[in-house]
């Protein structure tokens, strides 16, 4: 007769909740609302608003094209250099934005964390959505660039969502680790911009990963973004660009490990977030 | 009636650090501490007969709740009272799954919404309309539910004209009304409310209480209610728990428990020392150390006569130089805000310990019990509130009736929050002959 029994909750220390994922599903609307809030606030407070999401990738692309393409004269496998750079900037900017957003999401929403319950995973996950909007805007720029250079992509472009998913997993995995660290060690927030800055140069954004010497290729692929960026280039540039499969597999494995361990660590730590934040 | 919440032997401990002043851990400190303890271990290893020199006890366990067991039945409205640091909010936070207990088990049959703050998640840049949706979602309402109740919420909050204005332009009254309106329309099986009704104007408070009482009676919702406002607790809750030092001191009918609270030593005393246990109250600028009430003869007391003056002394430690303004807040036993008084000239204070004294004149307060809140603000770069400890002290003002100025032989009760002795004149306006 008890109509409420389907919501029975048992609270115990260290209890592993079997319905955690079910809970996340129940809080999907909160997830959407938080993302919606972040997007609204973001475009409300800035003067140039959406233009900002256009200017940033565009200027980075121009600088990289000049530095790596014109000055260093790195090979571009027969593709216009701006398109080569932009195909990599797309996943990189998505990755770096969502990484910074996700790792700060808990600190920035400390007041929510200490006042209401929701599966804490919702927070970093929803902050990734905001970066997705920027990604879409950048994608339009890429399309315009392709029209400008009269570059026709091959059938491989339909594989792009798959590689995008890989980028999400890489960003989430790293983001979850950093977010948990950020709550515990408050000076970790200085580490995140550092990682992003270094990452830009050690990932094949301004250049093709083909310029890396053969014997270092596999080692280089330990950087999860190498697989993601190579995948993006393979799908967007088509024809000439080839995928270095052993490296791609290594990158994928690293992403999967990062993502699973990130979720594991986050869930281990989330019970104490409200006490330490 | 079914038991809806069953709490079995819940305890919660916090680690509080004495040495470090930071509220959070910084990686650099962890590295430094580890290096230190590594150094100490080496020193210890070299100095064989030296016992563990625990000179820097950096952490101490503090039990916010100790072995609490209670049962709450479906549809009950239960009040939780107790002085500051008794563990009321911690209990609500555990029930609301915001924090985890250290020991024990709780079984809850139903959806829980916790209302620990007014307008949780309100974003100043967003409009009233947008904030209703956001706040509703945060409190656990679904989008369709909010849509269905949207007009009702707007109506209740009386903010129709400002729906599309960012809430940062709202007056504080409007802000609170909107936040309450969303909360009042929540429909979980269990509602946890912490002190939130202490703000907002009286008339709107009554409206909210009415709404909550209504829903609770009609729909059998269970409400847990933490408050210092005994009047509100008495009118809203039939059952009550009194917590003290993390334990249940008394449970039963609200009137009995409130009476016990007032008559036993559990109520706020005339003197309180905040440094003995509990987490430090304050921030990186200043912390509250102790407070006391002294009567005209400079004796510590929590009872004075209506025609005596009293002084509220507050001892605090300044950690960073700033321009400080101590202030005291008086509430009546029913929770009404009697008045607050701020030290009129902010003083630049260097790190050290200080005592502020606020003198309340004789023949000013009415008879009855008053709760005194202690706060410290600073006016350096913008106003910062360093701490605000509500009901830190209490004072009982007695009216001996016999010989009380202003009574002129009248022996009945005199209403009002204050009873100042004012200057009067009676002039004869008959025409002079």
Angle (CA) B140-B141-B144 rounded to 5° is 155
Buried b (16+ CB within 10 A) or exposed e, B99-130: bbbbebbbbbbbbbbbbbbbbbbbbeebbbbb
Residue B426 lies in a domain: no
Domain membership of residue B407 (yes or no) is no
| B126 and B82 together in one domain | yes
Give the pLDDT band of residue A262 (cuts 50, 70, 90): very high
Which of B30, B101, B117 lies nearest to residue A13, judging by beta carbons?
A: B101
- B359 in any annotated domain: yes
Domain boundary among B205, B238, B263: B263
Mutate to test the interface with A, among B140, B145, B279 (most CBs of A within 10 A): B140
Nearest to B253 by CA among B10, B7, B76: B76
H or E stretch at B390: strand B384-398
* Count of domains observed in chain B: 3
Could you tell me the two tokens for B109?
A: 């049959």
Provide, as residue numbers in chain B, all residues whose Cβ is less than 8 Å from the Cβ of A22. none
- Residues B253, B335, single domain; the answer is no
Do B350 and B317 belong to one domain? yes
Are B327 and B311 contained in the same domain?
yes
Domain boundary pick from B56, B82, B107: B56
What confidence tens digit (pLDDT) does each residue in B291-312 have? 999 988 888 887 788 889 999 9
The answer as to whether B424 is a domain residue is no
Domain shared by B70 and B47, yes or no: no
Q: Which residues of B touch A117 (CB under 8 A)?
A: 96-98, 112, 114
Average of pLDDT values for B149-164? 90
Contact list in B for residue A115 (CB cut-off 8 A) is 98, 114, 116-117, 120
Residues on chain A touching B120 (C-beta within 8 angstroms):
111-112, 115-116
The domain that contains B384 carries what CATH number? 2.70.50.60
Span of A49-58, A260-269, B243-252 with lowest mean pLDDT: A49-58
- The answer to whether residues B51 and B67 belong to one domain is no
A229 within 8 A of A209, measured Cβ to Cβ: yes
Nearest to B212 by CA among B358, B79, B364: B79
Mean pLDDT of chain B: 81
Taking contacts as CB-CB distances below 8 angstroms, the residues of chain B near A270 are: none
Check whether B407 has a pLDDT greater than 70. Answer: yes
CB contact under 8 A, B27 and A187: yes
Best mutation target among B17, B24, B63 (most A Cβ atoms within 10 Å) is: B24
Q: Do B100 and A271 touch (CB under 8 A)?
A: yes
In angstroms, rounded to a whole number, what is the distance separating the alpha carbons of residues B47 and B41?
10
ipTM above 0.85 for this complex: no
**Residue that finishes a domain, picked among B263, B282, B310:** B263
Q: Note whether B250 and B223 are same-domain residues.
A: yes
Q: Tell me: do B81 and B131 sit in the same domain.
A: yes
Instruction: Band the pLDDT of B56: cuts 50, 70, 90.
Output: very low
Residue B415 domain-assigned (yes or no)? no
Residue at B428 is within a domain: no
Chain segment B14-32, per-residue pLDDT in tens:
876 654 444 556 667 777 7
**pLDDT score, position B80:** 92
For residues B238 and B72, the answer to whether their CB atoms sit within 8 Å is no
Judgement on whether residues B100 and B47 belong to the same structural domain of the protein: no
Residue B59 has pLDDT above 50, yes or no: yes
- Interchain pair B107, A10: CB under 8 A: yes
Structural domain of B46:
20-56
The yes-or-no verdict on residue B360 having pLDDT over 90 is yes
**Chain segment B35-48, per-residue pLDDT in tens:** 766 666 665 555 54
Nearest to A263 by CA among A124, A71, A104: A124
**pLDDT average, residue stretch A179-208:** 87
Residues B143 and B231 in one domain: yes
Q: Is the pTM of this model over 0.90?
A: no
Query: Which pair of tokens denotes residue B159?
Result: 């903010």
Tell me the nearest-neighbour CA distance from A146 into chain B, angstroms. 38
pLDDT at site B75: 84
Q: Does B109 have pLDDT greater than 80?
A: yes
Let me know if residue B154 belongs to a domain: yes
Per-residue pLDDT at B149 exceeds 80: yes
More confident residue, A5 or B314: B314
Q: For B183-222, how does the pLDDT look when each residue is reduced to its tens digit (9 = 90+)? A: 878 878 888 888 766 555 666 767 777 777 776 677 778 8
What is the Cα–Cα distance from B346 to B340, expressed in whole angstroms?
Answer: 16
pLDDT at A18: 66
For residue B83, the 8-state DSSP code is S
CA–CA separation, B104 and B100 (whole Å): 10
Do B258 and B314 reside in the same domain of the chain? no
What's B247's domain CATH number?
3.40.50.300
pLDDT of amino acid B53 = 40
Same domain for B100 and B126?
Answer: yes
B98, part of any domain: yes
């Amino acid at each position: 007769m008890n109509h409420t029994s389907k919501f029975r909750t048992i609270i115990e220390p260290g209890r592993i909740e079997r319905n955690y994922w079910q809970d996340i599903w129940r809080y999907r609307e909160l997830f959407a609302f938080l993302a919606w809030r972040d997007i609204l606030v973001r475009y409300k407070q800035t003067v140039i608003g959406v233009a900002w999401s256009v200017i940033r990738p565009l200027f980075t692309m121009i600088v990289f094209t000049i530095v790596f393409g014109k000055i260093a004269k790195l090979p571009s496998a027969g593709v216009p250099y701006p398109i080569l750079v932009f195909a990599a900037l797309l996943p990189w900017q998505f990755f770096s934005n969502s990484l910074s957003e996700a790792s700060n999401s808990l600190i920035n929403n400390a007041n929510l964390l200490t006042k209401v319950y929701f599966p804490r995973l919702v927070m970093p996950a929803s902050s990734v959505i905001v970066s997705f909007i920027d990604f879409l805007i950048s994608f339009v720029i890429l399309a315009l660039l392709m029209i400008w250079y009269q570059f026709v992509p091959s059938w491989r472009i339909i594989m792009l969502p798959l590689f995008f998913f890989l980028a999400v997993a890489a960003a989430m995995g790293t983001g979850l680790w950093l977010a948990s660290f950020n709550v515990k060690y408050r000076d970790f927030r200085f580490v995140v911009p550092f990682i992003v800055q270094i990452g830009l140069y050690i990932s094949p954004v301004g250049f093709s990963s083909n310029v890396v010497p053969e014997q270092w290729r596999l080692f280089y692929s330990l950087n999860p973004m190498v697989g993601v960026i190579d995948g993006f280039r393979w799908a967007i540039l088509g024809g000439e660009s080839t995928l270095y499969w052993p490296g791609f597999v290594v990158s994928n494995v690293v992403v999967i490990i990062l993502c699973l361990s990130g979720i594991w660590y986050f869930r281990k730590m989330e019970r104490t977030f409200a006490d330490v934040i | 009636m079914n038991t809806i919440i069953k709490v079995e032997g819940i305890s919660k401990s916090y680690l509080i650090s004495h040495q470090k002043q930071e509220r959070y851990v910084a990686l650099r400190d962890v590295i430094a501490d580890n290096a230190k303890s590594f150094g100490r271990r080496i020193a210890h290893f070299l100095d064989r007969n030296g016992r563990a020199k625990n000179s820097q006890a950096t952490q101490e366990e503090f039990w916010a709740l100790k072995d609490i067991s209670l049962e709450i039945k479906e549809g009950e409205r239960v009040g939780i009272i107790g002085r500051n640091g008794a563990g009321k909010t911690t209990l609500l936070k555990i029930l609301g799954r915001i924090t985890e207990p250290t020991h024990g088990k709780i079984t809850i049959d139903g959806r829980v919404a916790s209302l620990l703050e007014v307008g949780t998640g309100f974003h100043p840049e967003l409009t009233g309309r947008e904030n209703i949706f956001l706040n509703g979602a945060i409190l656990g309402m679904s989008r369709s539910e909010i849509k269905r109740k949207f007009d009702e919420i707007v109506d209740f909050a009386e903010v129709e004209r400002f729906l599309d204005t960012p809430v940062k332009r709202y007056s504080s009254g409007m802000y609170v009304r909107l936040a309450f309106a969303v909360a009042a329309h929540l429909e979980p099986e269990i509602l946890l409310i912490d002190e939130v009704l202490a703000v907002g104007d009286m008339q709107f408070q009554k409206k909210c209480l009415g709404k909550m009482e209504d829903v609770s009676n009609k729909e059998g919702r269970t409400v847990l209610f933490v408050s210092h406002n005994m009047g509100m607790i008495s009118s809203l809750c039939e059952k009550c728990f009194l917590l003290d030092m993390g334990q249940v001191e008394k449970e039963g009918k609200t009137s009995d428990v409130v009476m016990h609270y007032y008559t036993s030593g559990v109520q706020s005393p005339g003197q309180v020392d905040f440094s003995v246990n509990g987490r430090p109250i304050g921030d990186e600028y200043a912390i509250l150390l102790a407070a006391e009430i002294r009567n005209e003869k400079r004796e510590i007391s929590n009872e004075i006569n209506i025609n005596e003056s009293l002084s509220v002394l507050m001892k605090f430690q300044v950690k960073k130089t700033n321009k400080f303004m101590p202030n005291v807040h008086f509430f009546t036993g029913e929770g009404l805000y009697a008045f607050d008084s701020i030290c009129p000239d902010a003083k630049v204070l260097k790190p050290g310990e200080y005592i502020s004294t606020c003198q309340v004149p004789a023949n000013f307060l009415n008879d009855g019990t008053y709760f005194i809140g202690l706060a410290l603000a600073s006016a350096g770069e913008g106003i910062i509130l360093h701490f605000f400890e509500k009901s830190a002290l209490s004072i009982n003002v007695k009216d001996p009736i016999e010989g009380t100025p202003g009574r002129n032989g009248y022996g009945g009760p005199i209403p009002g929050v204050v009873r100042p002795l004012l200057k009067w004149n009676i002039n004869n306006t008959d025409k002079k002959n």
